[in-house]
Amino acid sequence: MNSPLALAKWLSGDRHPQHVVAFAGEQCFTQTDLMKDVQRIYRWLHCQPGKRWALCFDNSYDFIAALLATLHAGKTPVLPGHSREAQLREQQRHFCGVISDVPLNLDCPVLNPQTLDYPALTSFEPVPDDAGVVFFTSGSTGEPTQIFKTLCALDEEIVWLAALWGEDLHDCRLVGSVSHQHLYGFTFRVMLPMALGLACDALMIHFPEQLAARAAHPLLFISSPAFLKRLDINLAAPVFKRVISAAGKLDDDTAQQALAWLKTPVSEIYGTTETGVLAWREHDKPDPEWQAFPAVQFTPQGDGWRVASPLIHQGHVQLDDILEFTAQRRFRLIGRRDRIVKIEEKRISLSEIERRLMALPGIEDAAVVPVTRGKRIALGAVVVAPKADATSKQQWREALSAWLEPLAIPRFWRVVERIPLNSQSKRAWAQLQELFDETR
């Protein structure tokens, strides 16, 4: 495998004009196509005022074109992680305009690249040395937190991954069941294939049948535990060069069931939006330990761990996860310390949902907890709402849908006179959980 190509050089002349960058079904997009699609956005954007532009695309190829146009135009790409109009309106202070293939009614410029003409190809301005990309992640306060990732760090991350797995990825195509609008999908569905010259699927895979239909080429599959749990072993499996999972912890049962169909062990990545990749493990045996990347350093701090890495913009962060180290830089994940939960590999802030609930008319206080039913996790909301009636819960659900994705909308509800507190006048979380006991 050749050395990874830095993002700033993706539009250079190092690749053949007919090199396949991406595909969507039978349609292929070449390096020449990419140059043209970047050019039409670049020409328009280069003349626009304002520095920060939000990118909202479901199609990965269109996203790559917009990303490159934004960077070469000297702008900063902002990835809100969604295309929900109500939430974009709320986040509008973080960007001066939006580039999207979705119709949006916002108080800022909204560009659909499909409306632009193709200009004659000209040279691009080089990407600035200090360029980077802004991501959003849910913080412990519930407010979305901006995370700035330099291109230098994003490129370095791919160097690490190529050193680990690059030799396995000759002559394969990349497909994925996770969105490129968050760091995991961005790293593995955008950065990795573009840097290594792999053709990537412009469309996200939602169902096992779609994955089985991609059998014409050996595959690098970028997935998640939620999708791997839904694999249909009755389908004919494609040939997989490697399968990578992240965005949630992969349990042994799912890993072993997936191995039987995939015919290759699942490679799992541990990391966060703030830190980038931190460690990996191979599910070739039950309960494998995590192996830290060589440049990542873990240091005990208080009741947790501080991690330092060249991929972290500020150098180091305090982890929310509880780790138990063994030997040779290996460790196990024991649990979490914050109020972020993962449902179907979506990172959901319970504090954010509580904040949204308390902004609704008639709700005086609210607490949200995860509720387990069988093997599934949903959310339960405990609200103080003196004037609630039989229609209130449906009204609350509909109101929340303007800001929250479906998994973040509480499924179970309890209306109480007051939120229970413990002897330290803090919320009694165990008592709140008991309100959703199936025996009640």
Could you read off the pLDDT of 62-81 as tens digits, one per residue?
999 999 999 999 999 999 98
Task: In whole angstroms, give the CA distance from residue 56 to residue 230.
Answer: 27
pLDDT for residue 409: 96
What rounded mean pLDDT belongs to the chain?
Answer: 91
Please report the domains of the chain, with CATH numbers, ordered by start residue. 7-336 (3.40.50.12780), 340-434 (3.30.300.30)
Lowest mean pLDDT among 181-185, 235-239, 287-291, 334-338: 334-338
Q: Is the pLDDT of residue 86 over 60?
A: yes
Average pLDDT of the residues in 157-161: 98
pLDDT for residue 424: 47
* Inter-residue contact 133 to 154 (CB < 8 Å): yes
Average pLDDT of the residues in 320-333: 87
Task: In whole angstroms, give the CA distance from residue 352 to residue 368.
Answer: 10
Q: Is the pLDDT of residue 142 over 70?
A: no
Task: In whole angstroms, give the CA distance from residue 324 to residue 304.
Answer: 10
Q: Is the pLDDT of residue 156 over 80?
A: yes
Average pLDDT of the residues in 7-35: 95
Paired tokens of 44: 């328009």
Could you read off the pLDDT of 299-315 as tens digits, one per residue?
988 778 999 999 998 89
Average pLDDT of the residues in 49-59: 95
Contacts of 402 (CB under 8 A, 6+ apart): 84, 86, 87
Could you read off the pLDDT of 113-130 as tens digits, one per residue?
999 998 888 889 999 999
Could you read off the pLDDT of 356-412 as tens digits, one per residue?
999 999 999 999 999 988 878 899 999 999 999 999 999 999 999 999 999 999 999
